[in-house]
Amino acid sequence: MQYPLEGVKVLDFSRAVAGPFAGRLLADLGADVVKVEPPGGDDTSIHGRKVQGISGMFSQQNAGKRNICLDLRSPDAVWLVKELAAVADIVLENYRPGVMDRLGIDFATLSAVNAKLIMLSISGYGHDSPEAHRPSYAPVVHAEVGLMHRMAQRNATPPGDLPLSVADTNASLHGVIAVLAALNMRHLTGMGQHIDMSMMDATFATDDRAHFELENVPDTLPVCPIVDLPFGRVFIATDMKLLFRKLHRYAGLADPTPDGADLATKIDLRNQAIEHYLRQCESLSQFAELMDTIDMPWGQVRDPHDLEEQPTLKHRRMIVQIDDRAGGVRPIADSPYRFSNASSGVRGPAAHRGEHNRQVLKDWLGLSDAKIEARVESSMLKSDPSEVRD
């Protein structure tokens, strides 16, 4: 089946996670995404297991993209970027506001050669914020938008960071939605546009609990129990009061509280009874059957090393093996999109720096071999001969 974004050309100047993840999503949907990597490499190139010079984190964010390595400080680089932008549909970048202007490849400059161009700019605080100049990574946004404080309050622990880059991935996800909306609008108007996506805005907009703090009212969503059972830990998505009611009504748990017991005693005795009752489940299947009986959502507190055995991820083939460029394979998360009449999914491994310099110049610009060689041999295009593989 056809990919939804076949034929769409994306020039991806972004690095790290906010931006590259957006490019990865577009590539999974069929776009021809060309990563423009600086000679010094991407920020994620040092994180994770390296195979043939490609790290696990870089692979996760850049699988399925082609790669050119371009020194944007080279005098001729601006002309090449303009040539590529003239035939591109989308440009992605996550430099600090002002950097693209100083490089001479800002939206105003590029849209002058391609009025249909859509540019997505992801930054920590947005281009018109009083804090626009501040450097930012996901943990900085987690702190500023209140996520660290809330997690510390909820868990009664000192503040600390989240174990995933929510601010980065939220900005990329919202960025892709905006890009797809802009593509549709371009069909109506014939014109492209610039999208200014702030990591702060995206994370705040996606925070489903922000309204409690904004209106200064208590968070009424339950603190759900995590219980140690003979086969491991489980999370039960309810409060202890409702859990007792369901176990008492549908699973035969007796009420241990004597007549006339005060509220604190009643709560304590019932909680003890719940834990004792649940610990009689000696296997995961036995516990699952009990939860089905009382119609209660739950989850196994799973070690991430065991995710390949998670039944849904396994059934839906969300962990796939891609070429590791060394004669083997390596695991990677696949696209989550499931269409009834279209394809999606990771379409190849991450590329080495400059691996597709020649190929992109030929495919996108239609240059002759002689002109391609002249560009490749110039100082603006780079590659690492020790890493590049045909």
Claim to verify: residue 164 and residue 288 sit in the same structural domain: no
Residues 241 and 181 in one domain: no
pLDDT digits (tens, 9 = 90+) for 109-129: 999 999 999 999 999 999 999
- One domain for residues 290 and 151: no
pLDDT of residue 390 exceeding 50:
no
Residue 58 shares a structural domain with residue 190: yes
How far, in Å, CA of 9 to CA of 31, rounded?
6
Give Cα separations from 167 to 107, 323, 365 (angstroms): 24, 29, 35
71 shares a domain with 42: yes
Q: Which residues are marked as active site?
A: 168
pLDDT per position as a tens digit, 233-282: 999 999 999 999 999 999 999 999 999 999 999 999 999 999 999 999 99
Going 268 to 272 to 227 to 289, the CA torsion angle's sign is negative
| 268 vs 289: CA distance, rounded Å | 26
Residues 180, 62 within the same domain: yes
Residue 339, in any domain of the structure: yes
Q: Are residues 234 and 373 in the same domain?
A: no
Per-residue pLDDT reduced to its tens digit, 193-228: 999 999 999 999 999 999 999 999 999 888 899 999
Q: Are 353 and 41 in contact (CB under 8 A)?
A: yes
Euclidean distance between CA atoms 25 and 10, whole angstroms: 11
- What's 205's domain CATH number? 3.40.50.10540
Residues paired with residue 262 on neighbouring β-strands, in sequence order: none
- Total domains in the chain come to 2
pLDDT interval class at 388 (50, 70, 90): very low
Choose between 249 and 383: higher pLDDT: 249
For residues 263 and 322, state if they share a domain.
Answer: no
In a domain, 221, yes or no: no
Does 154 reside within a domain? yes
Evaluated on CA atoms 349, 182, 141, 203, the torsion sign reads: negative
Inside any domain, residue 216: no
Determine the pLDDT at residue 112.
Answer: 98
* Residue 389 resides in a domain: no
Q: Are strands 298-300 and 319-323 parallel, antiparallel or unpaired?
A: unpaired
Question: Do residues 281 and 196 share a domain?
Answer: no
Whether 267 maps to a domain, the answer reads yes
Distance CA 12, CA 19 (A): 8
Q: Is the pLDDT of residue 310 over 90?
A: yes
Which of 247, 279, 303 is where one domain is finished? 303
Q: Are residues 288 and 332 in the same domain?
A: no
pLDDT for residue 387 is more than 60:
no
- The reply to whether 1 falls in a domain is no
SS3 at position 42: coil
> Do 285 and 372 belong to one domain?
no
d(CA 186, CA 65): 24
Give per-residue pLDDT as tens, 44-97. 999 999 999 999 999 999 999 999 999 999 988 999 999 999 999 999 999 999
pLDDT in tens, 329-371: 999 999 999 999 999 999 999 999 999 999 999 999 999 999 9
For residue 246, the enclosing domain spans: 226-303
